[in-house]
A and B are shown apart, each in its own frame.
Chain A
Amino acid sequence: MQEQLNKLQCIVTDPTLSPAQKAHYLALEAENMLPYPSLDTATREALDERVICDMYEGHAPHRPRYVLPDYRVVLANGSEYLELDKPQSLDEAINVLMIAYHQVPSITGMPVYIGQLDELLLPFCEGVSDDELYRKLRLFWRYLDRTLPDAFMHANIGPTDNRVARAILRVDAELKQIAPNLTFCYDPASSSDEILAMATNNIVECSKPHIANHPLHAQSFDERGYGIVSCYNALPIAGGASTLTRLNLKEVALRSAGEADFFTRVLPTYVELNFRLAESRIDYLFKQSNFFASFLVEEGWIERDRFTAMFGIFAMAEAVNILQEKEGRTGQYGGDETANALGVKISRALADAVDGRPMQNVWRGRAMLHSQAGLSIDIDATPGVRIPYGKEPDPVTHVQALSPHHRYYAAGISEILTLDETIKDNPQALLQLCKGALATGFREFTANVAGNDLVRVTGFMVRLSDIKKFRRLQGSRINTTVLGAEAADNVGILERQPRVVGHELRPGYGQ
């Protein structure tokens, strides 16, 4: 108890945290004083050894990890609970959204999804000039960054070429803010080449947006649609994800005698334990937390049966290299055909396992596979199925080595391509690289351009200048800078030629 009190004391007196940030960490510590949802012995052991991981979401899951409200509902109906009339103008629509975002829980305490903004706002744009639209969105963008300063907050636009999407791209490149994160959903059938070029030119400016392969995602979901949220998670709209539990493939490989033992014994064992961990947490959320008594359900923003369970994996690179060594082979993941094929075989085995395992209180009764982009505390474990930092081949070879994985990861997968600054003179090269990656089966195309202050740490954005400032103990008004700084220290993200890595959330205060 004394230890816990000391920790609370540290949080309360930390000079680098704002009062709101302190309150968030205090709440997390309080939650973790409660007993953990009940786990069987084997699952508990695997969790303690961190072969499986609960993302340190806390001991008492009282809200889903990611919530993707269907904002069409509140724009169409207003909200009785919030005493909001149905909006009639663009100003009113934006204002309703600004209010709505504060009602959306998530694991970070801030909304991770703020909607398919062009689709939401276009109906309100009749009679609004391009210049008015631009100025209103510019203020909206500033509001988002200042009041919801979390890089996990994610806006979507596309796939059509429309004036709202264009105005958002323009504003985003001008302001170069960390928040919101931005995805352009690209569909060769309905997106114009010009808007894709605008998007890739924005990447040169500010490493945003990232480009989602709309046809590939759309076929993994239903007519209600999907959203890209937080760090490249693809999830059902009007629902989300109850949990994300992840499997450390490196630890699984270390516990295997060789490739055959890995596939027939060790991997299936830990896959099952990861399912049980998710089940226990989902049970708590659905049966004890009372979350679904929310007005969000009553008014139809979300539906109880549209929440998936994300089955995350990471450290594929280390797992493959360990198995290669156990089999007496020298080829390394990313640079060797046999090693790369072994990686794809693991992804296929994971996808089969997820497809074959029914789950209760989960959308469509099955979990969804997710290539998890890491936590700031991960050491010697590469995010998802990525190639280790500093060992990436040229961008084309990089994409070709990893694209066979992408079909298996319906709940999201991302690689960050780091491009040197010379690309700034040649945006056409970036456009073609993006088209090539998507045509080759990439679900997401994400690039960092060297020399940009705004870079991606896995999925979320940080400003390198903010990390420097944070290091000088000035704190940061943006929650994710802390994660970026930890990642820079622990994961060597800034060593990546000029790239930055990934993580989603750190365990808690000072861990």
Chain B
Amino acid sequence: MSSGLATVSKILSYSCVDGPGNRFVIFLQGCNLSCLACHNPHTIGLCNHCGECVAACHANALSMVDGRIAFDPLNCDQCDACLVKCPISANPMVRQFSVVELLDLIRPRRPFLNGVTVSGGEATLQLEFVCRLFQAIRNDPELAGLSCFVDSNGQLGASRWKQLLAVTDGVMLDVKAFSESLHRALTGGSNLPSLQSARVVQAAGKLYELRYLLVPGKTDREPEVDALIRFVLALGEDVRVKLNAYQLHGVRGAARAWEKMPKAGVDAVARRLRAAGLRNVVTPAVYV
């Protein structure tokens, strides 16, 4: 990202599920985990300009120009056929934004917003940009009241968190599993960085929410839930724990055959957490 631009998968002017209040959400492209259960798998890869998506586009929004994919958003009708075609879980519709361009998008929406959230993909892969964006929001007299939040998988190292936390108001952090082997099976990576990140962020007083995805027969099993309880109690009993329910929307590959997580199962885990002394357990408002 030395160009000073962010690679953006999607922008929302309105979101009530990415932190407190209504938030402007910037989904950054690219992730360093490959979760089987990912519900935005097209945000994982970075385009290698193979060109396979061009033929899949019926709206002539995609073309090859000098060996690179060119995307015309005016023609695009958002059918997402290109995403299905992409062999590497990338997204040919990503766009590059500068900090100034994003501020110009946020500014007219200011009266409606409580804050800005960067999500992904994995937002911290574009750490330098995120820091500059957050700093710019703080420095802008019109935008200064907006809170700046990051939604992360926690794979970022502790020293780099220091840089990010200096300009961040809150972090929503995912822990995918507590057993190392299960974590590797589900995500392709180790959970040690994520657990360490949770401690670092909490120590800085900026852990807004710890998120835990319940997958039937996997992360909802007793040893996992016990480990979650121990981990949160060590962080602090008031840490907000958001239980999410595995659902199939957006999921690709082997995980499509997995069972959905029913409300009753989520509620049962929530009861266990609360009984163990966790004081701020949140369950989904909606099940799909």
Which residues on A are within 8 Å of B, measured CB to CB? 394-397, 399-400, 419-426, 428-433, 435-437, 439-440, 451
Number of A-B contacts (CB under 8 A): 69
- The residues of B that contact A421 with a CB separation of less than 8 Å are 285-286
The residue of chain A having its C-beta at the shortest distance from the C-beta of B113 within the complex is A432
Across-interface contacts of A440 in B (CB, < 8 A): 111-112
B63 at interface, CB cutoff 8 A: no
Q: Given the complex, which residues of A lie within 8 Å of B15, measured CB to CB?
A: 429
* Chain A residues whose CB sits within 8 angstroms of the CB of B258 once the complex forms: none
Residue pair A396, B109 in contact (C-beta under 8 Å): yes
Complex Cα distance A488/B112, Å? 31
Is there a chain A Cβ closer than 8 Å to B108's Cβ? Answer: yes
Closest Cβ of chain B to A421, distance in Å, is 5
**Cα distance A396–B114 in the bound complex, in angstroms:** 13
Contact B285 A425 (CB under 8 A): yes
Q: Is B51 interfacial (CB-CB < 8 Å)?
A: no
Name the A residues within 8 Å of B112 (CB-CB).
395-396, 399, 432-433, 435-437, 440
The smallest beta-carbon distance between A500 and chain B, in angstroms, is 19
Interface flag for B13 (CB, 8 Å): yes
Q: Tell me if B285 and A422 are in contact (CB < 8 A).
A: yes
Jot down 7 A-B pairs with beta carbons below 8 A, ordered by A.
A396-B14, A421-B285, A423-B285, A428-B20, A429-B23, A430-B16, A433-B22
| B22 surroundings in chain A (CB, below 8 A) | 396, 426, 428-430, 432-433, 436
- Take A424-B285, A425-B282 as given contacts and tell me if A400 and B14 are in contact as well, using a CB distance cutoff of 8 Å: no
- With CB as the reference atom, state the residue of chain A lying closest to B12: A394
Known: A394-B13, A394-B14, A421-B285. A426 touches B111 (CB 8 A): no
Q: How far is the CA of A252 from the CA of B21 in the complex (A)?
A: 42
Chain A residues within 8 Å of B286, by CB: 420-422, 451
Q: A394-B12, A428-B22 are in contact. List 17 more A-B contacts (CB 8 A).
A: A397-B13, A400-B109, A421-B285, A422-B17, A422-B285, A424-B285, A425-B16, A426-B22, A428-B20, A429-B23, A430-B22, A431-B21, A432-B21, A433-B14, A436-B112, A437-B112, A439-B111
Residues of chain B in range 64-111 having any CB-CB distance to chain A below 8 Å: 108-109, 111
A353 to B286, CA, bound (A): 48
- How distant is A234 from chain B, measured CB to nearest CB, in Å? 22
Q: How far is the CA of A437 from the CA of B111 in the complex (A)?
A: 8
Report the minimal beta-carbon distance from A397 to chain B, rounded to whole angstroms: 6
Q: Mark B2-37, 1 if CB is under 8 A from A, else 0.
A: 000000000011111100111100000000000000
Q: How far is the CA of A435 from the CA of B284 in the complex (A)?
A: 26
CA distance A424 to B287 in the complex (A): 13
Residues of chain A within 8 A (CB-CB) of B20 are 426, 428
* Residue of chain B at shortest CB distance from A440: B111
Residue of B nearest to A450 (CB): B286
B21, A429: Cβ atoms closer than 8 Å: yes
A396 touching B13, Cβ below 8 Å: yes
Question: C-beta contact mask, B253-288 vs A, less than 8 Å → 1, else 0?
Answer: 000000000000000000000000000001011100
B167 to A: closest C-beta gap in Å: 22
Q: Are A436 and B111 touching (Cβ within 8 A)?
A: yes
- Check A422/B14 contact, CB under 8 A, given A400-B108, A436-B111: no
A394-B14, A396-B13, A396-B14 are contacts. A426–B109 as well, Cβ < 8 Å?
no
Residues of chain B with a CB closer than 8 A to A439's CB: 111
* Interchain nearest-CB distance for B240 vs A (Å): 11
Residues from chain B with a CB closer than 8 A to the CB of A430 are 16, 22
A423–B111 touching, CB < 8 Å: no
Interface residues of B in 99-133 (CB under 8 A from A): 108-109, 111-114
- Looking at the assembled complex, report how far the CB atom of A204 sits from the nearest CB atom of chain B, in whole angstroms: 10
Q: Given known contacts A429-B114, A432-B112, is B16 in contact with A423 (CB within 8 Å)?
A: yes
Closest A residue to B19 by CB, please name it: A426
- Whether A432 contacts B114 by the Cβ 8 Å rule is yes
How many angstroms between the C-alpha atoms of A439 and B113 in the bound complex? Answer: 12
Q: How far is the CA of A433 from the CA of B21 in the complex (A)?
A: 9
**What residues of B have a CB within 8 angstroms of the CB of A431 in the complex?**
21
Q: Are B285 and A428 in contact (CB under 8 A)?
A: no
Q: A435-B111, A436-B111 are in contact. Are A426 and B13 (CB under 8 A)?
A: no
